[in-house]
A and B are shown apart, each in its own frame.
Chain A
Amino acid sequence: MFEEIYGLEDIIQTIALEKLFFDYKEDYAGGIIDGDNFYIIASETVYDLCDHVEYLDYTDSTLYFFSFPEMRKFYKLCKEHCSKHHIKFQKSPYIKGAMDFVTDSIRCSGMRNFAWNYWIPPKLKKKRQHQFLIETGCYFQEWIEMIAALFEIRQYFREKCEELQKELTPALTIVKPKKAPVPDTEERKAA
């Protein structure tokens, strides 16, 4: 009757996080829901997704640099696609589509107290691999929304990579081996 559930808000957020894991992580088996570990699990998930983290003392904010392997592969395939179809890299429908998708998913994510930047690399250089950046302020709390947006973006690039790969792979035509003509029975007998 008077049993209090301590940290229910964190427990609910952990359930939301687990839901994301089941949706986006392959072979995720689940585990005991513990609200106390929510912030650890959430921050670890973001750290796993990003390439590099920087803490800025003067603004009390954290910079997360992302360049998913799917994202790098996508740009590589886009280059191939553009050269095949003689389209300028910046004007490719795939590039424009990716820009729109990332912008929409970040804007509709419901995150607050953050800044972000996403740029299209003019040239694929090893030195500048980071194409997506999120800066979170000291009052940032929307971890679920951030992780959901990141999973969504990664999934988008994964799907587009498959799409591009299919488009770039030349269609294979199955050539059936010709059957040797069977000699008539009379000819066979004569032989």
Chain B
Amino acid sequence: MAFVLDLKLLRDNLDQSSPRIEMVGDGLDDPELGFSEGLIYLIRNVIIPLTRKEKINSANLDFSKFTDEDLADLYDYYNTNYYDGSSSWYKLKAFYQQCCKAPSQAAPIRFL
């Protein structure tokens, strides 16, 4: 399977994209993002462990820290920031996996 990568287009799109990668980690508390405390709790205790393929036990969740609305917002958050189901997302995923599998090759270096 061959991929033709337009590096300029990729770089331009990455520059214009929303700061998704930062939002996964510690930047969730940023008031500019407008996330409720319940949603932040759910992202940290549900979404992040699930992306790491970890199992969640309901006994470890504090149900007083989030509401039903936060649960509804969680699905929207995931679709916006992790997975949008679009064909471009799948293409990018396939490309990413291809790169991960590719054996490392030493690039030829020229010394002047």
Q: Do A and B come from one complex?
A: yes
Interchain CB contact under 8 A, A11 and B59: no
Query: CA separation between A2 and B51, bound complex, in Å?
Result: 9
Residue of B whose beta carbon sits closest to that of A110? B68
Interface residue tally of chain B, by bracket?
20 to 34
Interchain CB contact under 8 A, B46 and A11: yes
Of the candidates A5, A23, A29, the one whose C-beta lies within 8 Å of that of B82 is A5
Interchain CB contact under 8 A, B78 and A3: no
Residue of A whose beta carbon sits closest to that of B47? A5
Residues of chain B lying within 8 A (CB to CB) of residue A29: 59
Is A112 an interface residue, CB under 8 A from the partner?
Answer: no
Q: Tally chain A residues at the interface, Cβ within 8 Å.
A: 21
Interchain CB contact under 8 A, B57 and A31: yes
Of the candidates B63, B68, B72, B75, the one whose C-beta lies within 8 Å of that of A8 is B75
Residues of chain A lying within 8 A (CB to CB) of residue B53: 3
Query: CA separation between A21 and B61, bound complex, in Å?
Result: 13
Main secondary structure of the interface of B (DSSP, over half): helix
A32 touching B55 in the complex, CB below 8 Å, given contacts A2-B93, A8-B78: yes
Residue of B whose beta carbon sits closest to that of A3? B51
Residue of A whose beta carbon sits closest to that of B63? A19
Query: CA separation between A67 and B68, bound complex, in Å?
Result: 28
Whole-angstrom distance between the Cβ of B13 and the nearest chain A Cβ: 15
Chain A contacts with B in 1-47, Cβ cutoff 8 A: 1-5, 8-9, 11-12, 15-16, 18-19, 21-23, 29-33
Is B23 an interface residue, CB under 8 A from the partner?
Answer: no
Residues of chain A lying within 8 A (CB to CB) of residue B46: 11, 15
Chain B contacts with A in 61-112, Cβ cutoff 8 A: 61, 63, 68, 71-72, 74-75, 78, 82-83, 92-93, 96-97
Instruction: Jot down 14 A-B pairs with beta carbons below 8 A, ordered by A.
Output: A2-B96, A3-B51, A5-B50, A5-B51, A8-B78, A11-B46, A11-B50, A12-B74, A18-B63, A23-B63, A30-B61, A31-B58, A32-B57, A33-B58
For the A-B complex with A32-B56, A32-B57, A33-B56 known, give 4 more contacts whose Cβ atoms are closer than 8 Å: A8-B78, A12-B71, A12-B75, A18-B63
Residues of A bordering B, CB below 8 Å: 1-5, 8-9, 11-12, 15-16, 18-19, 21-23, 29-33
Residues of B bordering A, CB below 8 Å: 21, 46-47, 50-53, 55-61, 63, 68, 71-72, 74-75, 78, 82-83, 92-93, 96-97
